[in-house]
Structures are given as C-alpha cells and as structure tokens.
Structure 1
Amino acid sequence: MYPRANTLGIITKDNYILLEEKEGKHAKGEGLYYRPIGGTIELGERSDETLIREFNEELGIEILITRYISCIENIFMIDKNIGHEITQIYLTEFKDESLYHKEVFAITEGNRTTKAKWILKEELFSGEKVLYPNGLTKLLKQEL
C-alpha cells in the first residue's frame, strides 16, 4: 500500500469555513468529524486541477484557487489499519458569490450523499469539533 495523494480546498466567509460533515470511525474515535472538500489526485493531474474537478463533480460548482497554503502529511490508525495521506491545501473561493448565502451543500460521490456546511472557526480551533486531516487545525490557526 502506498500513501494517497489528495488535495483540499478551504473556503471561508466571515468566521466560518465550509466543511463536509462525516460520521463514523476516525483516528480520534467515532462520531462526527469535518473535512474540507477535495479528493484524490489522479495520475497525470496537478493538485490544483484535481481541486477544481472535485468541486465540480461533488457539488456542481466552480471555484477559483486564490492561494496555495501548504502540504500536510497525515499518518493515522483506524481499527489497527494504517492510513497515510499527503495533502495539498489551497485557499479557494466560489466563482458565483451568491453561493456564500447558501447554508448547506449536498455532496455526491458515487452512490453516497453527504453535506457540507459552514462551521465556526472557533469550534474547530477549540477542539469542540473534530477537523481532518491531522495538523490542519494548527495550520489554519496560523493562516486564517
């Protein structure tokens, strides 16, 4: 097994970050956790191209990438199984500014549908809500 290369986009409005809400087992336990929107980088695809494609495929929206933030290497365990992700993080924004007024976004991946919503930065920074990948909370505290 090899590390998974992926990319995630950070969209903010006021004191909020748009995040996908997921539920299940994660490295810190079980329950709700949050992750920025993005996905796996395909062979021959640049990470910024992946991000634009993923937002279009999963939410049906167009984004602009405004700035590269950093790379996070996340090695974690779930049920004695090791996971390893190398993640490119970008600051992004909606092309259509009216989307900032939308509260909940449906995310479709194959047969699975989840939702993305605006989460207060302080809930993430305080640890009240779990944010993945590991290390992203610290990075966003510095960058946002």
Structure 2
Amino acid sequence: MNKAGEIRVIALGLIRDGERIFISEGYDPVKHETFYRALGGGVEFGETSGDALQREFQEEIQAELTNIKYLGCLENLFIFNGRQGHEIIQLYQCDFVDSKFYQLESLVFSESQTHKHKALWMDISRFKSGEFKLVPEGFFEYL
C-alpha cells in the first residue's frame, strides 16, 4: 500500500471481448463494498507504463499481451479502506496473446502472500446499469 500523501502511477489494461471486459474484483472492508477495475499495477522507477503493464499481467496471471494501444490518462482520487488514495492511471487497450484467457469464466491470482484477487469477464451493461461498481468512474469514457 502507498504511503500517506503519495501519488501512485499505475498502468491498467482494458481487455475487451465483444460486450464484455476482463476485470479484477476488489473489496473495501470499511465501506463493505465490492468494486471492479481493470488489471494492472504500479509503474516502477525507470520503467515505462507500457512495460509495467506487460510485467504486471505476466506476474499476476502469467499472461502475455498484444495489440497494446495507449488510450489516455485518468486521475483517480478515492477513499479505500478508510484511507485517501491518489492515482495517475495510464490506460491501455490490449488483447491476450493466448486465446485460453477468452474461454475462462474467472481465475484467482495472488498480488502478494496475503492478497488474493479474482479476475473475471463481465458484461459492460452490468456496470452501465449500476448493478456493479467499476472504478475509476472515468473508465466509462473508454468503453
């Protein structure tokens, strides 16, 4: 987790297959709220956001990406687990190299020893209807 007052730069990959997107499920224990966001992670010093995107997908779900295209930058101010967060998101559109990822219903991956996450395909309509929460809000502009 980032230190108080720190702005985190992250790279996220928007993977779309028709009317569904591949996203990660998160849970805020303070708000008792489940939310979803694109997969990806922090950009390390000396690394481009495009390289970070590929590294994060490799580390988290052992997936290679192709057709990587920069979409834009989002700024995300939020409260998670009772703490304020600030992210600068470099957003990319991309595809999986291995078609097996398109057949998956869901998969569980570890971000660390203690953090397990679920990644899954979900219909975009379920976010647009408000049934499920997609973060950050600005993400909708790219769907």
Residues 106 and 79 of structure 1, relative CA distance in 2, 3 Å threshold:
closer
SS in structure 2 of the partner of residue 61 of structure 1: coil
RMSD, aligned α-carbons: 1.7
Letter paired with 1:85: E
Q: Give the corresponding residue for 2:6.
A: 2
Letter paired with 1:135: G
Counterpart-to-counterpart distance in 1, 2:6 and 2:70: 24
Counterpart-to-counterpart distance in 2, 1:67 and 1:87: 14
Q: Give the corresponding residue for 1:51.
A: 53
Counterpart-to-counterpart distance in 1, 2:77 and 2:94: 25
Kindly, what percent of the aligned residue pairs are identical?
34
Question: Are residue 126 (structure 1) and residue 126 (structure 2) matched?
Answer: no
| Residues paired across the two proteins, number | 138
Do 1:42 and 1:50's aligned partners in 2 also have CA atoms closer than 8 Å?
yes
Q: How does 1:49-128 map to 2 (within 5 A)?
A: 49-78=51-80, 81-111=83-113, 112-128=115-131
Do 1:23 and 1:32's aligned partners in 2 also have CA atoms closer than 8 Å?
yes
* 1:66 Cα deviation from its structure 2 partner: 2.7
Structure 1's unaligned 5+ residue stretches are: none
* 1:10 Cα deviation from its structure 2 partner: 0.7
SS in structure 2 of the partner of residue 135 of structure 1: helix
SS in structure 1 of the partner of residue 32 of structure 2: strand
Question: Are residue 24 (structure 1) and residue 13 (structure 2) matched?
Answer: no
Residues 48 and 65 of structure 1, relative CA distance in 2, 3 Å threshold:
farther
* 1:109 Cα deviation from its structure 2 partner: 1.1
Counterpart-to-counterpart distance in 2, 1:79 and 1:21: 15
